[in-house]
């Protein structure tokens, strides 16, 4: 089984456990292949945490979960130096104790419930891939992926992420309600899991777990190298640049679009479209990127980078609707 087949098998396995969220699963895998971070937004109970745990279960490495709360401190994430008294030596010493950010798959649960200082500590680690404590720099693992969740409602007592910090996430994925059929399947799946758990508890035996398909960090690094060789034609490059450029000059799209856009997309958006487009083409078994790859990935890559105007809010225009206007106006 080659690396692409392993990732497709991972996607199929996750879809069996995270029912009705195929787009969420695909975007998580694309972000993993792009060595990027993801912001998950959705109401409670829509399987955001379950999807992250299921992904981590198949990745060889450390999974860490950080529950963001208002009283969290930056050192609770990055780690800190502790004073250690050593009787066998003449001098006592300080030693660095790594925080939970030193893992491979990091679940930052309800990131908007922590203060700006704590958010900045995590986002610095995401961008720089290292942590600095007491003047010393500690590198993070090679495979390092942050999956942050936030609730779009119940914003009282929260610190929403500023636009400049949102830009550091490769994608923002919206998790929506499942269909009626899928919700029935979710109910059946959870019921079967509970029955297996109770039967095992009755016999005082642990719940038997099937051996998951484990993808090593070396496999992921090989995927990164393969995706880096996927060809992007100059016409596709120009299409990506045109999409981003039109958000900076929205009057060239339409008068309505110009009234909805307050600030265009930074070059990070251009780079993200390129990386994610190559990952999508690789997953589909192609060695070249098509405009359709860019169009599929555009909402997840751009929705958190567009700053909408007051007029857009007044007209109930969502970022996805604005992106749809952009895609329909820019010719591939």
Mean pLDDT score, 117-127: 88
pLDDT at 86: 66
Are 22 and 122 within one domain?
A: yes
Are 165 and 239 within one domain?
A: no
pLDDT at 155: 63
Lowest mean pLDDT among 58-67, 84-93, 109-118, 261-270: 84-93
Answer yes or no: is 224 within a domain: no
pLDDT at 206: 63
In percent, the amount of the chain with pLDDT more than 70 equals: 94
Compute and round to an integer the Cα radius of gyration of the chain: 22
Are 66 and 176 within one domain?
A: yes
Are 182 and 35 within one domain?
A: yes
In percent, the amount of the chain with pLDDT more than 90 equals: 71
Answer yes or no: is 47 within a domain: yes
Domain holding 108: CATH number? 3.40.50.300
pTM: 0.91
pLDDT at 37: 96
Are 264 and 137 within one domain?
A: no
pLDDT tops 70 at residue 89: no
Are 67 and 135 within one domain?
A: yes
Mean pLDDT score, 126-143: 89
Which one of 159, 190, 221 terminates a domain?
Answer: 190
Are 13 and 103 within one domain?
A: yes
**Within 13 Å and on the Cβ side, how many CA atoms surround 229?**
7
Q: What is the DSSP letter of 34?
A: T
CA 48 to chain centroid, in Å, comes to 11
pLDDT at 80: 87
Are 275 and 127 within one domain?
A: no
**Within 13 Å and on the Cβ side, how many CA atoms surround 123?**
20
Lowest mean pLDDT among 1-10, 115-124, 203-212: 203-212
Answer yes or no: is 215 within a domain: no
Which one of 169, 190, 211 terminates a domain?
Answer: 190
pLDDT at 207: 57
Full residue range of the structural domain in which residue 234 is found = 229-329
Answer yes or no: is 58 within a domain: yes
pLDDT tops 90 at residue 139: yes
Which one of 190, 218, 240 terminates a domain?
Answer: 190
Are 68 and 116 within one domain?
A: yes
Q: Which residues contact 249 (CB under 8 A, 6 or more apart)?
A: 264
Answer yes or no: is 216 within a domain: no
pLDDT confidence band for 304 (50 / 70 / 90): very high
Residue bearing the bigger pLDDT, 171 or 124 = 171
pLDDT at 143: 94
pLDDT confidence band for 302 (50 / 70 / 90): very high
Are 54 and 178 within one domain?
A: yes
How many angstroms separate the CA atoms of 268 and 27, rounded? 18
From 12, 101, 61, select the one nearest 219 (Cα to Cα). Answer: 61
Across-strand partners of 42? 175
Domain holding 305: CATH number? 1.10.8.80
Mean pLDDT score, 109-132: 89
- Strand segments, DSSP code E, in the chain are 38-42, 63-67, 79-84, 93-98, 105-109, 130-133, 136-139, 145-150, 171-175, 261-263, 307-308
Mean pLDDT score, 325-330: 94
pLDDT tops 80 at residue 228: yes
**Mean pLDDT over each residue of the chain, to the nearest integer:** 90
Answer yes or no: is 13 within a domain: yes
The number of domains in the chain is 2
From 101, 319, 104, 125, select the one nearest 214 (Cα to Cα). Answer: 104
Residue bearing the bigger pLDDT, 59 or 213 = 59
- Work out whether strand 171-175 and strand 38-42 pair parallel, antiparallel, or are unpaired: parallel
Answer yes or no: is 219 within a domain: no
Are 179 and 297 within one domain?
A: no
Are 234 and 95 within one domain?
A: no
Mean pLDDT score, 115-129: 89
Answer yes or no: is 208 within a domain: no
């Amino acid at each position: 089984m080659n690396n692409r087949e392993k990732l497709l098998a991972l996607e199929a396995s996750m879809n069996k456990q995270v029912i009705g969220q195929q787009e969420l699963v695909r975007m998580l895998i694309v972000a993993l292949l792009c060595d990027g971070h993801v912001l998950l937004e959705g109401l409670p109970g829509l399987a955001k945490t379950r999807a992250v745990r299921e992904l981590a279960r198949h990745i060889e490495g450390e999974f860490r979960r950080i529950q963001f709360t208002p009283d969290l401190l930056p050192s609770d994430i990055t780690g800190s130096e502790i004073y250690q008294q050593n009787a066998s030596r003449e001098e006592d010493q300080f030693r660095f104790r790594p925080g939970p950010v030193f893992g491979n798959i990091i679940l930052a649960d309800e990131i908007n419930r922590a203060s700006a200082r704590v958010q900045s500590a995590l986002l610095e680690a995401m961008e720089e891939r290292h942590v600095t404590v007491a003047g010393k720099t500690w590198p993070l693992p090679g495979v390092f992926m942050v999956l942050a969740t936030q609730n779009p409602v119940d914003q009282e007592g929260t610190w929403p992420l500023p636009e400049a910090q949102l830009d550091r996430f490769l994608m923002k994925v919206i998790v929506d309600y499942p269909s009626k059929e899928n919700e029935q399947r979710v109910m059946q799946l959870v019921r079967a899991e509970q029955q297996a758990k109770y039967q095992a508890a009755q016999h005082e035996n642990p719940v038997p777990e099937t051996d998951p398909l484990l993808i090593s960090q070396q496999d992921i690094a090989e995927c990164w190298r393969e995706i880096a060789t996927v060809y992007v034609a100059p016409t596709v490059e120009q299409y990506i640049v045109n999409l981003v450029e039109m958000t900076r000059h929205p009057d060239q799209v339409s008068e309505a679009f110009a009234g909805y856009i307050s600030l265009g997309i930074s070059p990070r958006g251009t780079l993200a479209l390129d990386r994610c487009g190559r990952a999508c083409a690789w997953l589909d078994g192609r060695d070249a990127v098509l405009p359709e790859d860019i169009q599929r990935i555009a909402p997840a890559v751009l929705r958190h980078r567009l700053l909408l105007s007051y007029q857009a809010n007044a007209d109930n225009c969502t970022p996805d609707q604005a992106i749809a206007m952009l895609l329909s106006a820019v010719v591939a």
